[in-house]
Amino acid sequence: MYVAVKGGEAAILNSYRLLAQQRRGDPAVGELSIDHIAQQLRLAVDRVMTEGSVYDPQLAALAIKQSAGDLVEAIFLLRAYRATLPRLAYTEAIDTGRMVLSRRVSATFKDLPGGQLLGPTYDYTQRLLDFSLLATGTEPAADTSTHVSAPAPSEVAPRVIDLLNHEGLVEDQAVPAGDPEPFDLTRQPLRFPADRSARLQNLARADEGFLLAMAYSTQRGYAESHPFVGEIRFGTVDLCLVPEELGFEISLGDIAVTECQMVNQFKGSHTEPPQFTRGYGLAFGHSERKAMAMSLVDRALRAQELGEEVTAPAQMPEFVMSHSDSLESSGFVQHLKLPHYVDFQSELELVRKMRKAIARQDKGAEPDTERDAHA
């Protein structure tokens, strides 16, 4: 005799136990510390902070440990944590023009004030697995045979965009009249048409893989914009706050950010002189791929604003911005695992009914009355 299945709660509790085991792995292997992650998986931490929308390397490291390295899951943890935090204050806008630079490159000029500062980058490494990294526990002996002294972090350098702007070559990104508050996606729902601040916030939090693919598509003919890297800079900026009680600015400390200014195909008409147009990208930590992808997509999404024909998905704000959030996309894709047997039951019944009706017709029987209605 069939008995309705019970035991949902016991199943969940058991699955927690199994999950904890899976996360820990072989207990004979030492447990991963938060510091290990924060220090030696730094770029993972940077991504989780960026898409999690919280600058806190310790918390991001914790999220990565808890999610066993699944970064989308870690991002989810950080966002959920952030959602309930009280808002204490708003800082001043960061000034990337005053960044203390660890790395600064421009593809548009061979040399420029402040110089090309290569900094720490994988760009010019050969991607060969380094088996010396298999060894752990001891500091590797420093290779002093070819000693290259690392330069100290650079002094402040002027932005390439500002240099181009002296000649009026780049479009003006004027502050809107009245300097309105930027849109806050974490507080208000996104509506369309979305303004620039909403768009940039959406892209900053966007899943890196999705943004990368969208950016790539613009380079392959799905809306060409002939981009050039005006500048990428990575370093630290000062975070400042003007507390009400004090009335003057105090520094809260530094945060590390990566900024990309993409310069694109010039626009113009016979009445307006041509200018280069811009795309902007910003991410926490050292996240060049993300910042670059963001800047390409930012520019593509301005198609309508710049009077260009919209032909490709990367130019469609509703398409890009509605599908960019990994919490939304992962949640909805994976929700298909939830029971859907009631809906499926309805579909089953319909298919059976339709097949029966066709079988009757094939047999030359009286057509189903519903079909008869429009004979």
Partner 1 sequence: MSQAPLLRVRDLRCAYGAREVVRGISFDLWPGEVLAVVGESGSGKSTLLNAVAARHAPTAGTVEFAVRQGSDGAGDLADIYAMTEAQRRLLARTDWGFVHQNAADGLRMNVSAGANVSERLMALGQRHYGRLRAQASDWLERVEIDPTRIDDRPDTFSGGMRQRLQIARNLITAPRLVFMDEPTSGLDVSVQARLLDMLRMLTRQMQLAAIVVTHDLAVARLLAQRMVVMQGGYAVESGLTDQVLDDPQHPYTQLLVSSVLPP
Partner 2 sequence: MRDPHIHFAYLDERTKRMIRRAILKAVAIPGYQVPFGSREMPLPYGWGTGGIQVTASIIGSDDVLKVIDQGSDDTVNAVNIRRFFQRTTGVEVTTDTTAASIIQTRHRIPETPLAEGQILVYQVPVPEPMQHLEPLEVETRKLHALQEYGLMHVNLYEDLAHFGQIATTYDYPVLVNGRYIMAPSPIPKFDNPKMHMNPALQLFGAGREKRIYAVPPYTSVESLGFEDHPFSVQRWEQPCGICGARDSFLDEVITDDQGGRLFVCSDSDYCAKTQSAAASSGTTL
Catalog residues that contact partner 1 under the rule CB under 8 A: 269-271, 373-374
Q: Least distance (Å) from partner 2 to the CB of residue 56?
A: 16
- Distance in angstroms (rounded) separating the CA atoms of residues 288 and 262: 12
Do residues 297 and 278 lie in contact, with contact meaning Cβ atoms separated by under 8 Å? no
- Give the x-and-dash track for 285-324 against partner 2 (CB under 8 A): ---------------------------------x---x--
- Give the three-class secondary structure for 192: coil
- Pick out residues in 331-370 that bind partner 2 (CB under 8 A): 331-335, 338-343, 345-350, 353-354, 357, 368, 370
Report residue 187 CA to chain centroid gap.
18
The binder of 318, among partner 1, partner 2, none, by C-beta within 5 to 8 A per type, is partner 2
- Distance in angstroms (rounded) separating the CA atoms of residues 225 and 305: 14
Q: Least distance (Å) from partner 2 to the CB of residue 281?
A: 23
- Distance in angstroms (rounded) separating the CA atoms of residues 146 and 168: 45
First to last CA, the chain: 48
Handedness of CA 313, 317, 323, 326 (dihedral sign): positive
The CA distances from residue 33 to 36, 43, 61, 79, in Å, are 5, 16, 9, 22
Return the number of the residue (17 or 374) whose C-beta is nearest partner 1: 374
- Distance in angstroms (rounded) separating the CA atoms of residues 313 and 185: 22
The secondary structure element, H or E, covering residue 281 is strand 275-284
- Pick out residues in 149-188 that bind partner 2 (CB under 8 A): 186-188
Tokens of 17: 């136990």
16 touches partner 2 (CB under 8 A): no
Return the number of the residue (167 or 181) whose C-beta is nearest partner 2: 181
The binder of 95, among partner 1, partner 2, none, by C-beta within 5 to 8 A per type, is none
Report residue 118 CA to chain centroid gap.
24
Return the number of the residue (147 or 374) whose C-beta is nearest partner 1: 374
Q: Least distance (Å) from partner 1 to the CB of residue 268?
A: 12
Among 165, 197, 265, 330, binds partner 2 (CB under 8 A): 330
Q: Which residues bind partner 2 (CB under 8 A)?
A: 2, 4-9, 11-12, 76, 79-80, 82-84, 86, 186-193, 318, 322, 327-328, 330-335, 338-343, 345-350, 353-354, 357, 368, 370-371, 373-374
